[in-house]
Each structure stands twice: as C-alpha cells, then as structure tokens.
Amino acid sequence: MGSLETERTTTGWAARDPSGVLAPYTYTLRNTGPEDVFIKVICCGVCHTDIHQIKNDLGMSTYPMVPGHEVVGEVAEVGSDVTKFRVGDCVGVGAIVGCCKSCRPCKADVEQYCNKKIWSYNDVYTDGKPTQGGFAGEMVVDQKFVVKIPEGMAPEQAAPLLCAGVTVYSPLTHFGLKDVAGLRGGILGLGGVGHMGVKIAKAMGHHVTVISSSAKKKEEAMDHLGADDYLVSSDATQMQEAADSLDYIIDTVPVNHPLEPYLSLLKLDGKLILMGVINTPLQFVSPMVMLGRKAITGSFIGSMKETEEMLEFCKEKGLTSTIEVVKMDYVNTALERLEKNDVRYRFVVDVAGSNLDQ
C-alpha cells in the first residue's frame, strides 16, 4: 500500500480569476487518511457547471480553482481501512467528496442533500485544505465517494455518466418513473444531460419527446439518439397540439427561460423536474400548476448508491455517452464551445494523455 502520510504535489489546470481561463497550477494534495483512496486521473468530463464555477456566475468562487467533477482514474494506493477498492481498480468520482454522515439525508443515503456536503472542487475539506477537481494528475478521495467503473466500460465513456447520467437516473428512480413502461416523457434541452436523458428514458421503456427551441437537432435526436418525437417550442401550433400529452419533463436548460409553455404540455399530475443551475428567478403563473395538479420539482445529481445502480443499468442496457475527447491544452477552447452549445454532447479531457505542465 505504501505510505499515505507523505505529502504529495500534483499539477492541474486552474482558473485564477472570473475570466475562467485555465492554466497549469501545481499544488499540494491534502493529507490522506486510513479511509482515503489515492487516484491517478485518467480522464474527466466537462460539465456546464464547471463554467458557472470558474466564471463565478454563482458568486461563490474561490481561486485558484481546478474544476472537473466527472473523474475516472486508477487506484494507485489505498488507506489501511479501505475495504471497497484495490490498487489497479478503475474508479469514478463525482461532484461530492464529503458529507457530515449524521444528518437525515446522510442517514437516508441521499448524501447529495446534506447541508454540510463537500464539493469536489471550490470547497474546503475537513482538514482545512481547498478541494480541487479532476482536471489534474491525481486526487485523494474518501472511499465513500468513490465508485467502481463496471468492467468493460471505457473510462472516457464512464466519465459523463458520473454527473450527466446519474442526474437523469436519480429523479426517474426517486419519483417512481423508472419501472413504468410506456410513460410519455419530455427532455427539454439536448446537451450533455439531455442526451443522456433521452438514452436512459428510452432504455426504461418510455416514449420520449425532445423539446428544443429550433428544428436543427431533430435528425440528431430521432435518428441517432432514438427519441420518438421532436417538439419545437417556438412553434405555437406544435406546442398547442402537444398540450396535456406528457407525464413528466426533465428540464436541463441551464439559462433563464419561461416555464409556462412546458407546464402546458404536462398531463394531470405531471411533473416538471428542474435540473439546470440558474442564478436568476424563474417565473410561472399559479393556475398553470393548479389546473392539473402539476408539480414543479428539482433534483440534484444523485447519491453514491444511485451512481452505482446507474452505472450497472448503463452497462446492462449497453448505454454510452456521446463524447468528444480532447487534450488538456484544448480545454479553454472546449469550455468556450460548450458555452455556445457547440459539442455532441460532452467533452471529455484525456488527462493521462496530456502534458499538464504546459
């Protein structure tokens, strides 16, 4: 196992101010303990939340900041009390690396709702050291927040599932939609989360409609992702014809948008499930909800238990994420392209194959 007490340094790519430009940054990893896993990063997905954080869109950013919370790596060492992992295992780390372990959400195994959760980056660990993410050579993570990547699943395919995949899987499971074949679901927004929403909902036996502001992604949604229907939200006639037709809508749009057009698509008792991180208030008129007993709710990533379930579900159903693999020296361009929605559908940084020092 080696000595986990030795202080190590690693190099990551960090933002140093709200410009969000990433550049090499060498820092000391936090001291490791008996329940920690030392991970050599193989690859890391790029999520829209990374942009919010590096650009201080939410007003809570601390610099220097190494983003990345869709991390896949290889276990290099384990602490003396680690039971779940061995050296050489291919593992994943998502958005959270710590929680209080004693509150109601923690005891219910939904630690993502713990008020004292510790984020993978832009946070402070219990020892006072800042947390840094997966755009780096190595990470030290508590075994509770590490998952095994199923055998046969490529690391770069698994990376986006650790956020985009479980973010969709969790509400479908929690709200009792997973095992109800024939449900009619809507996926609003066809980005990293949305494209996994189509694949996962289809694999659950649902009739899936992609909702987008223009027709430009119609062929992609239906021919490549397997959606059953495509609805252009700016087409008033189409929207009127689709009124009262959906059991749920997964709303993945990460910018301010009106809710009324989408609430009108829901059947009686339908659910609008919000997933986009938006820093301005959303609006709707109350009759849109009242006259149909509709629910506007939210869901946040997923628990470690759900992450493990989701990975097995994707393996069993043969689901993969649609990705574009890039080297670290391209990451700033990738972030710019992601902001313009110019990616099919998730960037994954090949960290192990990159020169992190330049």
Domain assignment of residue 64, yes or no? yes
Q: Please indicate, yes or no, whether residues 118 and 256 belong to a single structural domain of this protein.
A: no
Question: Does 145 share its domain with 289?
Answer: no
Residues of the domain holding 211 = 165-298
17 lies in the same domain as 123 = yes
Query: CB–CB of 132/121 below 8 Å?
Result: yes
Q: Please report which confidence band the pLDDT of residue 2 belongs to, taking 50, 70 and 90 as the band edges.
A: very low
pLDDT digits (tens, 9 = 90+) for 198-230: 999 999 999 999 999 999 999 999 999 999 999
Asked whether residue 286 is domain-assigned, the answer is yes
172 and 154 fall within a common domain:
no
Q: Do 278 and 327 belong together in one domain?
A: no
* Whether residues 156 and 180 fall in one domain: no
What does the pLDDT look like over 268-286, one tens digit per residue? 999 999 998 888 999 999 9
Q: The whole model's pTM is what?
A: 0.93
Place of tokens 């340094």: 9
Q: Is there a single domain that holds both residue 272 and residue 334?
A: no
The last residue of one of the domains, among 298, 313, 333, is 298
**Rounded Cα distance, 111 and 98, in Å:** 9
CATH number of domain containing 36: 3.90.180.10
Question: Distance between CA atoms of 111 and 178, rounded to whole angstroms?
Answer: 21
Provide the number of structural domains found in the chain: 2
Measured CA to CA in angstroms, residue 319 lies from 4, 165, 198, 284, 344 at distances of 36, 10, 11, 35, 16
| 330 lies in the same domain as 288 | no
Regarding whether 119 and 46 lie in a shared domain, the answer is yes
For residues 204 and 152, state if they share a domain.
no
pLDDT tens for residues 61-70? 999 999 999 9
- 169 and 288 both lie in a single domain: yes
CATH of the domain at 256: 3.40.50.720
pLDDT in tens, 322-355: 999 999 999 999 999 999 989 989 999 999 999 9
207-212/229-232 β-pairing: parallel
